[in-house]
Amino acid sequence: KNAARAGILLYYYYCYYYYCCCCCCCCYYYFYFYYYYYYYYYYYYYYYYYFYYYYYYYYYLYYYYYYYYYYYYDNYYYYFYYYYYYYYYYYYYYYYYYYYYYYYYCYCYNFTSTTTTSTTTTSTLTTTDDQRTPTD
């Protein structure tokens, strides 16, 4: 799914800068390499947080099995203690995943707002508290 999204973005920006080339060759080559630099930067940025998510995922599994052992030792107390840690690491997963998409959204918004051609940029947020869309 993520590879498909990256491919769509790559195709979209390629067509956009190819159109820009018809207007000005210098503009095309400048923004073409500018985009590829930031594309690989965010590609690395995404996988960094993707790894960070799996780090917390296995950290959560560690606490899950750890307190699952004590679940039989003291049923009532450790049952709620386990659920506290579950939601704690679940929150951190969405925090870092949301931060990536919000940062990427700001980049697309600042970049497209300086162009003269009307474009439409969409970005999917993992949270529902900030669903703004960029405008030209």
Residue for token digits 């080339």? 21
Segment 82-107 shows an average pLDDT of 44
Segment 59-80 shows an average pLDDT of 50
Prediction pTM value: 0.18
The structure tokens listed for 70 are: 């004590």
Split at pLDDT 50, 70, 90, the class of 47 is: low
pLDDT of 44 higher than 50: yes
Distance CA 56, CA 46 (A): 15
What 8-state DSSP symbol labels residue 124?
A: -
Segment 29-57 shows an average pLDDT of 59
Split at pLDDT 50, 70, 90, the class of 38 is: low
